[in-house]
Amino acid sequence: MSAPKITLYTNHRCPWAHRAHIALKESGLDYEEVIIDLTKPREPWYLEVNPRGLVPSLRYGEDIITESAIVAQFLADAHPSHLLPASNSKDGALQRARIAFFVDTFFSKVQPHSMASQRASTDAERKAASEALVQAIQDDLETLLPDELQGPFFGGSDRLTLAEVLTGSFLLRILSWHTPDTGLFSADLPERLQTVPRFLRWAKATVEQESVNYIWDSKASADAMKAKLAKLAQQK
């Protein structure tokens, strides 16, 4: 299906907005981007685009779509591709349910530990959060992922699926932010991740995709996250 003019209101440091970039690139859609400065109050014109003031927002022709998961799902539905089978195709509804369950598991069981590590104020707290993160991957995610005989992406696919569109920006953080210049995960996280080989293979394959890493700047994103956490701490 041909697409109308698409504008993405975004900020490259935001993992939620990053989902929309991945979905657009994987769907082969051209788009313009408007960067929203999240360090300043939103301007009135942007609150007309998205009254919640959040990024991402997608302008698709005359229509505005907000909330990153809804934007990604909308693009996958409007432009059918390898990301998601049609719900009325053979096993399509089941595959969609499997992807939805996987993404739900990632965000309900694993991501809270990632956030705890990023918020940690001592090395000991950060180490404990990284340990809990790997334990949650082991307990809840590892068996949902393909083994080395299958394709690396969800369901054994050789190409990205909606599961990676929705988790890829969060995987970049888990795999990158243990370095001394970022420091939001403990330095021993890469070693601990060796104990969850399916996750590691899947996550590495995902972040190597150009559609996932083309807007990524690890240090700049970590600095933005630190600034945001410092601001939130001041507000307490």
Whole-number Å distance between alpha carbons of 133 and 235: 27
Residue 124 neighbours by CB under 8 Å, 6+ apart: none
| Contacting residue, 3, 29, 38, 200, with ligand GSH by CB under 6 A | 38
Gap between the Cα atoms of 68 and 183, Å rounded: 27
Pick between residue 124 and residue 232 the one whose CB is nearest to ligand GSH.
232
Number of residues that bind ligand GSH (CB under 6 A): 10
Nearer to ligand GSH, 56 or 152 (CB): 56
Q: How far is CA 51 from the centre of its chain?
A: 23
Determine contact, residues 129/122, Cβ cutoff 8 Å: no
What dihedral do alpha carbons 214, 11, 81, 4 form, nearest 10°?
-120
| Closer residue to ligand GSH, CB minimum distance, 70 or 94 | 70
Contact flag: residue 223 with ligand GSH (CB under 6 A): no
- Between CA 24 and CA 21 the distance in angstroms is 5
Question: What minimum distance in Å lies between the beta carbon of 34 and ligand GSH?
Answer: 13
Task: Tell me which stretch binds ligand GSH (CB under 6 A): 54-62, 75-83, 170-178, 210-218.
Answer: 54-62
- State which of positions 58-117 bind ligand GSH (CB under 6 A): 67-69
**Binding track over 11-30 against ligand GSH, x by CB under 6 A:** ---x-x--------------
Beta strands across the sheet bearing 6-10? 32-35, 6-10, 57-60, 63-66
**Between 55 and 215, CB nearer to ligand GSH:** 55
Q: Which residues bind ligand GSH (CB under 6 A)?
A: 14, 16, 38, 53-56, 67-69
